[in-house]
Structure 1
Amino acid sequence: MKDYLEFGMDYLKSKGVDYADMREVNSDSEHILVRNGEVENLTIDTGSGFGVRVLRNGAWGFSSSNTTTQEEMKKVIDQAVQIAKESQPTVNGEVEMAEEPSYQDEFKSEYDENPFGVPLDEKISLLREATEIMGKDDKIKVAQGSMSFLKTDKFFLSTEGSRIHQVVLESGAGIECTAMGNGEVQKRSFPCSHGGDHQARGYEFVRELDLTSKADKVRDEALQLLS
């Protein structure tokens, strides 16, 4: 566990709380959308932060920050405790915590190929090729493909002794086309709509989807729906 998180747990014990836990979340994400052969959206983002939840005299308090230092940790804990104190007059019953042992565990989702290590040009080229194949008919007005990747690294600590580390990598992709004709509008997608399919795996999942080989079928099915 990170030093500032353990520092926070030690500091919490000095604040007279009945129970407390904290979570730190670090995330990396990437989203690519190609429409009609052109990149329409490309978002690469990273973020981090932590939150502290406390129970004091039957009242809950919470505070959070995206600055991961010991001084900020103290400030956030003080805020959470103060919120619990100010909420106490509204409490009309005791909080009963379930009997639960502490846990020390770690989980990391398995993958073969890190999507963040795959060249961006390679991902864009795959989506461009798929959309160009789908667009090989004048009745196809919109042909688009997307990829999304998210890595979430979480730490959980509680005053009951739990220390849990979890790293989950999610990868997904999909293609879709819109056909217009005979006064109708029809759509087909693969493997499913709303951004495709996603799994807790790496880029190997995107390769297995084999989007370019499915593009002809998606286009033809959309055209068939017009008749």
Structure 2
Amino acid sequence: MKRRDFIQLTGLGLGALTMPVPLFGQSVDPLQLLATGMEVAQKKQLADVALQAAKSNGATYADIRIGRYLNQYIYTRESQVQNIVNAESFGAGIRVIANGTWGFASTNDVTPEGIAKATNQALAIAKANSRLQKEPVQLVPAKGYGEVSWKTPIERNAFEVPVSEKVDLLLSANAAAIQNGAQFVNSALFFVNEQKYFASTDGSYIDQDIHRVWPTFTVTATDPATGKFKTRDALSSPMGMGYEYLTGNGAGKIAGPQGTELALYKNSYDIKEDAIAAAKQAKAKLKAKSVDPGKYTLVLEPNHLGLTIHESVGHPTELDRVLGYEANYAGTSFATLDKWQTKKFNYGSKQVTIFADKTQPGSLGAVGWDDEGVKTKRWDIIKDGVLVNYQAIRDQAKIIGETESHGCCYADSWSSVQFQRMPNVSLAPGKAKLNVNDMIKDVDRGIYIAGRGSYSIDQQRYNFQFGGQLFYEIKGGKIVGMLDDVAYQANTQEFWNSCSKICDESDYRMFGSFFDGKGQPSQISAVSHGSSTARFDGVNVINTARKI
């Protein structure tokens, strides 16, 4: 599966219907997802087998990850359940440095004998590869934390919720959409629990229990007279939370700008309310005015802007892309080291500060320690518009003069080797008090865009085009009606330098990507992007329905 396929699943999880169960693990009875995993003391004993074997056979560094990965995905269409997937994967991955070279091996035989055998395989691989290694691997120091633990602060474990309750929730949302004018509706719930144990020769023994949840749907409205159809995807976001995200109790509800009737949530989500709004808006899109191309002021809400951040800032500031290591897979980066070295490269306007943070509560990337045992933190990537840093792990940090890793190393499975992955990358909210209506009131010719849609971006993450779910025309400081066939085009530097205003903290919320792909062999990861509604002036808008 290609990287873009994974990204597009953020618009509709039902694409995962085509994924084989082995992608997630072995198919199991749902009760197995509630079974108690291996005791921490036993994991430590197994970890010591690997670490001692590695050190006694010439490794200068070694780490082991023992992982149990639980997945549940439920898919429905109209009044029917289409598929339910319950999957479990359990095993261990061992990574070593021997003769200055990395070696990695994994096993699903999680016994002392199996662990020892995999460790010896990792050592043999490292020593064989060392004949081709031009420079030895150099790790920046990492603190040993002893025996510690971290858990996603959930209120209700999604795996403890009966499947029947989850199915009822989806089918009720589907019915509500049909009752309000939709002809078709697909919906899905995704739940993930990663139970990960990490140990290293640096002296860390870290036990983590990570939870993620994602509700999503697509509704379709049709016009029988013309044969036209329009869709609207959910305005939910994947979150690092438990089932409480689906309570829809109004906590943190955000009002959309005047006239839009958007169901926007900050810390919880009402899938039924959003489905009702989606059905009405999909019908309205059938009669919406087709946009006139030209320059517009764009007012972009966070659910939409998160994908733009992901593609135009998140990926191009991954240090391995900057260095060319990812050239074969979705390209490299225009944000090269020479631009960073000047400390003057204007990535965006002075309003733009973009930070990385794997500690944000509720975010998909939130963990206590990364998959190298580095404690997670926050750091600036763009500060007041200037490119000031990248995303780097232990064997990269020295390249940019850092004395410690940024704590953004991750592997999607015990069987995958960990490598640099995007942390949560977010746009800092504006400092002055400003809401979305204040932002709109002085816009003469603009478009308010909500939700993420199709996109295209070049191999260096520079020239791009983004669509969306909903488009509202702004004239004379007011929203005057719905538009359709909207996409905007820019290059990354031009776009972020056009940012003139950002709403304050009260409007801040997160978008998420549940299936962000990278690497060869491909791995997926989950990452959030927070922002408040932001304004961009003089952006080129095209009409996607007109022939060129």
| Structure 1 or 2: more helix by fraction | 1
Task: Give the Cα–Cα distance (whole angstroms) in 1 for the partners of residues 136 and 124 of structure 2.
Answer: 19
Q: What's the CA shift for 1:41?
A: 1.7
Contact 1:134 1:219 in 2 (8 A): yes
- Counterpart Cα distance in 2 of 1:190 and 1:175: 5
Q: Does 1:6 align with 2:48?
A: yes
Structure 2 residue aligned with 1:28: 70
Offset at residue 174 of structure 1 (A): 2.3
Deviations 1:72-113 (A, max 9, x none): 011101111111111121011222221232123321011111
- 1:172 maps to 214
Alignment counterpart, residue 200 of structure 1, candidates 204, 224, 240: 240
1:224 maps to what in 2?
284
- The AA in structure 1 aligned to 2:53 is Y
Provide the C-alpha distance between the structure 2 equivalents of 1:93 and 1:113, rounded to a whole number of angstroms.
Answer: 49
- How far the C-alpha of 1:59 sits from its partner, in A, is 1.7
Shift of 1:201: 1.1
Query: With CA pairs under 8 Å and 6+ residues apart, which has the higher RCO, 1 or 2?
Result: 1
Q: CA deviation at 1:50?
A: 1.1
Q: For 2:79 and 2:165, how far apart are their aligned partners in 1?
A: 14
1:122 is aligned, of 165, 172, 180, to 165
Q: How many residues align?
A: 222
Q: Structure 1 residue 102 and structure 2 residue 162: aligned?
A: no
Q: What's the offset of the Cα at 1:33? A: 0.9
Partner SS, residue 57 of structure 2: coil
Match runs of 1:12-161 below 5 Å: 12-104=54-146, 105-136=148-179, 140-161=182-203
Amino acid at match of 2:209: V
Q: 1:190 aligns with which of 215, 234, 259?
A: 234
Aligned-residue offset at 1:147: 0.8
Distance 1:36 1:163 in 2: 47
Amino acid at match of 2:246: V
Helix, strand or coil at the partner of 2:138? coil
Are the aligned partners of 1:172 and 1:197 in contact in 2 as well (CA < 8 Å)?
A: yes
The alpha carbon displacement at 1:158 in A equals 0.9
**Deviation, structure 1 residue 35:** 0.7
What amino acid is aligned across from residue 233 of structure 2 in structure 1? S
Moved over 3 A (4+): none
Q: What percent identity do the matched residue pairs reach? A: 28
Deviation at 1:65, TM superposition (A): 1.0
8 Å CA contact 1:37–1:131 kept in 2: the answer is: yes
Q: Which stretch of structure 1 is more off in the superposition, 119-128 or 181-190?
A: 181-190
| Greater mean deviation of Cα atoms: 4-13 or 163-172 | 4-13
SS at match of 2:179: coil
Return the alpha-carbon distance in structure 1 between the equivalents of residues 73 and 66 of structure 2: 23
| Structure 2 CA distance for aligned equivalents of residues 20 and 116 of structure 1 | 33
Equivalent position amino acid for 2:176 in 1: I
CA distance in 2, matches of 1:55, 1:23: 15
Separation in 2, partners of 1:134, 1:176 = 10
Q: Kindly state the Cα deviation for residue 15 of structure 1 after the two structures are TM-superposed.
A: 1.2
Deviation at 1:176, TM superposition (A): 2.1
Please give the TM-score of this superposition, normalised by the length of structure 1. 0.91
Alpha-carbon distance in 2 for matches of 1:56, 1:163: 21
Tell me which amino acid in the other structure corresponds to 1:187.
T
Secondary structure of the residue aligned to 1:140 is coil
Shift of 1:14: 1.4
Find the counterpart in structure 1 of residue 271 from structure 2: 211
Higher strand share: 1
Give secondary structure in 1 for the equivalent of 2:144.
coil
Question: Following the alignment from structure 2 to structure 1, what is the Cα–Cα distance between the partners of residues 237 and 140?
Answer: 37
- CA displacement 1:28-62 (0-9 Å, x = unmatched): 11101111111112101111111111111112211
Structure 1: tracts of 5 or more residues without a match: none
Give the match's secondary structure for 2:130. Answer: helix
Distance 2:52 2:206 in 1: 17
Measure the CA separation in 1 of the matches of 2:188 and 2:247.
Answer: 13
1:133-170 deviations in Å (ceiling 9; x for gaps): 21236x73321221111010111111121222211111
**Alpha-carbon shift at residue 190 of structure 1 (Å):** 2.5
- Contact kept? 1:29, 1:150, Cα under 8 Å: yes
Normalised to the residue count of structure 2, the TM-score between the two structures is: 0.39
